[in-house]
């Protein structure tokens, strides 16, 4: 399967942000979450990324994380795993990303938080079987080729009874296929929420700030690409959420253990 031109452009943008943002202005790259403009209580350090943080807060509450071994696959620039590590008090936290520059940034920027950052591929995770109690993946998988390999790897590194907290978006007509791939990968779906409306609200509320950041960090030639990546108001991705051509989902699934007798 050849990688799409769109994916290649976004990889270039991701690399560019990781290279140019030396002041750590960008630590989150998700679209965010807002429900009726309700604001959860945040520390000052998280306030500037409110809507992105609120998405991670929603995801983290999908399972009991306290004192558990957790990993975020596709951790990007580390804002999400840092928030969860500080506010939900897991036993251990690991962040993995394919982009080596992002991992270098995370190791330096969060050096005092006790998080283990690892460069690696979501389709071939560099962890032994049964390593984690909770696997988190936020707004990353839509760029993966061979999603079935990713699901298989998540199942492998999860301990029996562990949870996979999975938030992302897809074209509406691809959701049935995605759910079938999850169940084929020996996961049991505990919860499935469509949160498109809440993501769209967050995008609308944060569009001005996102555009200001894009203008600050990028030359004029790249600003259109930056706005598309950030899905600011009026861009194609924003419009597809508005028309519900794209749906944003949040799954809570559990590791479905099958023994040698086929019993679950």
Residue 261 covered by a domain: no
The pLDDT value given to residue 67: 98
CATH number at residue 53: 3.40.50.150
Does 166 map to a domain? Answer: yes
CA distance 86 to 89: 6
pLDDT of residue 264: 47
211 phi-psi bin (left φ>0, alpha ψ -120 to 50, beta other): alpha
Backbone angles phi, psi at 29, to 5 degrees: -135, 25
Q: Which domain holds residue 153?
A: 5-255
Is 260 inside any structural domain? no
Query: Digits of tens for pLDDT over the chain (264 positions)?
Result: 445 555 665 666 666 666 666 666 678 889 999 999 999 999 999 999 999 999 999 999 999 999 999 999 999 999 999 999 999 999 999 999 998 989 999 999 999 999 999 999 999 999 999 999 999 999 999 989 899 999 999 999 999 999 999 999 999 999 999 999 999 999 999 999 999 999 999 999 999 998 988 888 778 877 887 888 889 999 999 999 999 999 999 999 998 754 434 444
Kindly tell me the number of DSSP H helices and DSSP E strands found in the chain: 10, 7
Q: Within its chain, how far is the Cα of 1 from the centroid?
A: 23
- Rounded to whole angstroms, what are the CA distances from 169 to 54, 66, 91, 105, 173? 17, 27, 29, 26, 11
Q: Is residue 171 part of a domain?
A: yes
Distance CA 124, CA 144 (A): 12
Residues 171 and 165 sit within 8 Å (Cβ to Cβ): no
Q: What does each C-alpha distance from 46 to 154, 183, 225 come to in angstroms?
A: 28, 35, 26
Residue 263 resides in a domain: no
State how far the Cα of 258 lies from the Cα of 155, in Å rounded to an integer. 12
Distance separating alpha carbons of residues 147 and 168, to the nearest angstrom: 13
Residue 230 φ/ψ region, left for φ over 0, alpha for ψ in the -120 to 50 degree band, beta for the rest: alpha
Do residues 92 and 70 make contact, with C-beta atoms less than 8 angstroms apart?
yes
* Residue closest to 71 by CA, chosen among 93, 100, 104, 103: 93
Is 130 inside a domain boundary? yes
Q: For residue 261, what pLDDT is reported?
A: 45
**Number of domains composing the chain:** 1
Contact 128, 105 (CB under 8 A): no
pLDDT at 14: 63
Asked, for residue 244, whether it belongs to a domain, the answer is yes
Count CB-CB contacts under 10 A for residue 63.
22
- How many residues are listed for the chain in this entry? 264
**pLDDT per residue as tens digits for the range 184-237:** 999 999 999 999 999 999 999 999 998 988 888 778 877 887 888 889 999 999
264 is a domain residue: no
């Amino acid at each position: 399967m050849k990688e799409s031109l769109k994916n290649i452009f976004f990889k270039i943008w991701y690399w560019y942000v990781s290279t140019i943002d030396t002041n750590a202005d960008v630590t989150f790259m998700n679209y965010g979450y807002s429900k009726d403009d309700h604001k959860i209580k945040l520390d000052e350090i998280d306030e500037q990324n409110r809507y992105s943080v609120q998405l991670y807060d929603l995801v983290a509450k999908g399972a009991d994380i306290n004192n558990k071994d957790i990993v975020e696959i596709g951790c990007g620039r580390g804002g999400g795993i840092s928030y969860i590590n500080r506010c939900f008090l897991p036993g251990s936290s690991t962040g993995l990303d394919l982009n080596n520059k992002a991992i270098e940034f995370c190791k330096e920027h969060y050096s005092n938080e006790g998080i283990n950052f690892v460069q690696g591929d979501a389709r071939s995770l560099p962890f032994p079987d049964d390593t984690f109690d909770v696997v988190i993946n936020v707004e990353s998988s839509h760029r993966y080729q061979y999603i079935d390999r990713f699901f298989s790897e998540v199942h492998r590194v999860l301990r029996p009874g562990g949870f996979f907290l999975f938030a992302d978006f897809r074209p509406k007509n691809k959701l049935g296929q995605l759910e079938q791939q999850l169940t084929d990968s020996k996961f049991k779906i505990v919860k499935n929420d469509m949160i498109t409306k809440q993501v769209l609200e967050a995008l609308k509320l944060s569009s001005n700030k996102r555009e200001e950041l894009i203008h600050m960090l990028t030359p004029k030639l790249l600003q259109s690409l930056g706005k598309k990546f950030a899905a600011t108001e009026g861009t194609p991705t924003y419009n597809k959420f508005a028309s519900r051509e794209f749906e944003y989902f949040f799954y809570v699934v559990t590791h479905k253990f099958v023994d040698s007798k086929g019993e679950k």
